[in-house]
Protein backbone atom coordinates (compact mmCIF):
# COMPACT_ATOMS: atom_id res chain seq x y z
CA UNK A 1 0.00 0.00 0.00
CA UNK A 2 2.90 2.34 0.70
CA UNK A 3 4.17 2.01 -2.84
CA UNK A 4 0.79 3.26 -4.12
CA UNK A 5 1.08 6.38 -1.95
CA UNK A 6 4.61 6.94 -3.24
CA UNK A 7 3.46 6.62 -6.83
CA UNK A 8 0.58 9.09 -6.26
CA UNK A 9 2.92 11.56 -4.60
CA UNK A 10 5.39 11.23 -7.46
CA UNK A 11 2.64 11.75 -10.05
CA UNK A 12 1.33 14.89 -8.35
CA UNK A 13 4.84 16.36 -8.23
CA UNK A 14 5.42 15.80 -11.92
CA UNK A 15 2.03 16.84 -13.17
CA UNK A 16 2.24 19.21 -16.10
CA UNK A 17 1.35 22.80 -15.20
CA UNK A 18 -1.98 24.07 -16.46
CA UNK A 19 -1.88 26.07 -19.66
CA UNK A 20 -3.37 29.55 -19.88
CA UNK A 21 -6.33 28.15 -21.83
CA UNK A 22 -7.03 25.49 -19.21
CA UNK A 23 -6.85 28.06 -16.41
CA UNK A 24 -9.22 30.29 -18.38
CA UNK A 25 -11.73 27.49 -18.90
CA UNK A 26 -11.64 26.66 -15.21
CA UNK A 27 -12.31 30.31 -14.32
CA UNK A 28 -15.09 30.53 -16.91
CA UNK A 29 -16.71 27.45 -15.40
CA UNK A 30 -16.58 28.99 -11.90
CA UNK A 31 -17.96 32.26 -13.23
CA UNK A 32 -20.90 30.53 -14.93
CA UNK A 33 -21.66 28.34 -11.90
CA UNK A 34 -21.85 31.45 -9.70
CA UNK A 35 -24.46 32.81 -12.11
CA UNK A 36 -26.66 29.74 -11.83
CA UNK A 37 -25.56 27.76 -14.88
CA UNK A 38 -25.33 23.99 -14.57
CA UNK A 39 -22.24 22.65 -16.33
CA UNK A 40 -23.09 19.35 -18.03
CA UNK A 41 -19.97 18.77 -20.15
CA UNK A 42 -16.37 20.00 -20.43
CA UNK A 43 -13.99 19.61 -23.35
CA UNK A 44 -16.59 17.78 -25.41
CA UNK A 45 -14.46 16.37 -28.21
CA UNK A 46 -15.75 15.07 -31.50
CA UNK A 47 -14.17 14.36 -34.87
CA UNK A 48 -15.29 17.88 -35.84
CA UNK A 49 -13.47 19.60 -32.97
CA UNK A 50 -14.13 20.53 -29.35
CA UNK A 51 -16.76 22.42 -27.38
CA UNK A 52 -15.22 24.04 -24.31
CA UNK A 53 -18.30 23.96 -22.04
CA UNK A 54 -21.88 22.79 -22.37
CA UNK A 55 -24.20 24.26 -19.76
CA UNK A 56 -27.87 24.64 -18.94
CA UNK A 57 -29.26 28.11 -18.18
CA UNK A 58 -32.85 27.74 -17.00
CA UNK A 59 -34.36 25.74 -19.91
CA UNK A 60 -31.73 26.54 -22.54
CA UNK A 61 -28.74 24.44 -23.60
CA UNK A 62 -25.75 26.78 -23.81
CA UNK A 63 -22.63 26.03 -25.82
CA UNK A 64 -19.80 28.13 -24.41
CA UNK A 65 -16.60 29.02 -26.21
CA UNK A 66 -13.88 30.29 -23.88
CA UNK A 67 -11.06 32.47 -25.22
CA UNK A 68 -8.21 33.45 -22.92
CA UNK A 69 -5.44 35.94 -23.67
CA UNK A 70 -2.69 37.64 -21.69
CA UNK A 71 -3.44 41.03 -23.25
CA UNK A 72 -5.37 42.69 -26.06
CA UNK A 73 -2.22 43.21 -28.14
CA UNK A 74 -3.41 40.71 -30.76
CA UNK A 75 -7.05 41.83 -30.40
CA UNK A 76 -9.84 41.15 -27.98
CA UNK A 77 -10.23 37.46 -27.06
CA UNK A 78 -13.83 37.36 -28.35
CA UNK A 79 -12.64 38.46 -31.80
CA UNK A 80 -11.00 35.04 -32.18
CA UNK A 81 -14.45 33.49 -32.58
CA UNK A 82 -14.65 34.29 -36.28
CA UNK A 83 -17.15 33.02 -38.83
CA UNK A 84 -15.26 29.78 -39.50
CA UNK A 85 -15.12 29.03 -35.76
CA UNK A 86 -18.85 29.81 -35.49
CA UNK A 87 -19.65 27.34 -38.30
CA UNK A 88 -17.52 24.65 -36.60
CA UNK A 89 -19.19 25.28 -33.22
CA UNK A 90 -22.62 25.11 -34.87
CA UNK A 91 -21.82 21.70 -36.37
CA UNK A 92 -20.47 20.47 -33.02
CA UNK A 93 -23.55 21.77 -31.19
CA UNK A 94 -25.90 20.11 -33.67
CA UNK A 95 -24.05 16.80 -33.30
CA UNK A 96 -24.26 17.12 -29.50
CA UNK A 97 -27.99 17.89 -29.60
CA UNK A 98 -28.67 14.97 -31.95
CA UNK A 99 -26.58 12.55 -29.89
CA UNK A 100 -28.43 13.46 -26.68
CA UNK A 101 -31.88 13.65 -28.34
CA UNK A 102 -32.20 17.36 -27.50
CA UNK A 103 -33.11 18.75 -30.93
CA UNK A 104 -36.38 20.13 -29.56
CA UNK A 105 -34.60 22.14 -26.85
CA UNK A 106 -33.74 25.80 -27.10
CA UNK A 107 -30.01 26.38 -27.55
CA UNK A 108 -27.66 29.33 -27.79
CA UNK A 109 -23.97 30.14 -28.14
CA UNK A 110 -22.13 32.19 -25.52
CA UNK A 111 -18.56 33.43 -25.57
CA UNK A 112 -16.56 34.03 -22.40
CA UNK A 113 -13.58 36.30 -23.07
CA UNK A 114 -10.88 36.21 -20.41
CA UNK A 115 -7.93 38.56 -20.13
CA UNK A 116 -5.37 37.31 -17.63
CA UNK A 117 -2.25 39.50 -17.51
CA UNK A 118 1.03 38.06 -16.22
CA UNK A 119 1.23 38.21 -12.45
CA UNK A 120 -2.49 38.87 -11.94
CA UNK A 121 -4.24 36.66 -9.41
CA UNK A 122 -7.67 37.11 -10.98
CA UNK A 123 -8.55 37.58 -14.64
CA UNK A 124 -10.91 40.03 -16.27
CA UNK A 125 -13.98 38.13 -17.47
CA UNK A 126 -16.49 39.27 -20.07
CA UNK A 127 -19.53 37.10 -20.83
CA UNK A 128 -21.34 37.53 -24.15
CA UNK A 129 -24.73 35.82 -23.97
CA UNK A 130 -26.15 34.74 -27.31
CA UNK A 131 -22.90 35.88 -28.93
CA UNK A 132 -23.82 34.58 -32.38
CA UNK A 133 -26.56 32.75 -34.24
CA UNK A 134 -26.15 29.23 -35.60
CA UNK A 135 -24.14 29.34 -38.83
CA UNK A 136 -24.76 27.03 -41.76
CA UNK A 137 -27.13 26.22 -44.55
CA UNK A 138 -29.20 23.51 -46.21
CA UNK A 139 -28.40 20.00 -44.95
CA UNK A 140 -26.79 21.23 -41.74
CA UNK A 141 -30.16 21.78 -40.09
CA UNK A 142 -32.06 18.78 -41.44
Domains by residue range for the chain, with CATH: 18-141 (3.40.1350.10)
CA atoms within 13 A on the CB side of 118: 0
89: CB partners within 8 A, 6+ apart: 49, 51, 63, 65, 81, 109
The pLDDT tens digits for 16-68 are 677 888 999 999 999 999 999 999 999 888 888 899 999 999 999 999 999 99
- Residue 138: is it exposed, middle or buried by C-beta count within 10 angstroms (0-12/13-18/19+)? exposed
Lowest mean pLDDT among 9-18, 75-84, 119-128: 9-18
Instruction: Please give the radius of gyration of the chain, using alpha carbons only, rounded to the nearest integer.
Output: 18
Residue 113, SS3 per DSSP:
strand
What pTM does this model have?
Answer: 0.83
Amino acid sequence: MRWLLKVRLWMTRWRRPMSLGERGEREAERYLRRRGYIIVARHRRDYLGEIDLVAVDERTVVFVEVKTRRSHDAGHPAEAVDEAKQRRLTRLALAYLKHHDLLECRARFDVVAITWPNGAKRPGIEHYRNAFEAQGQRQLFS
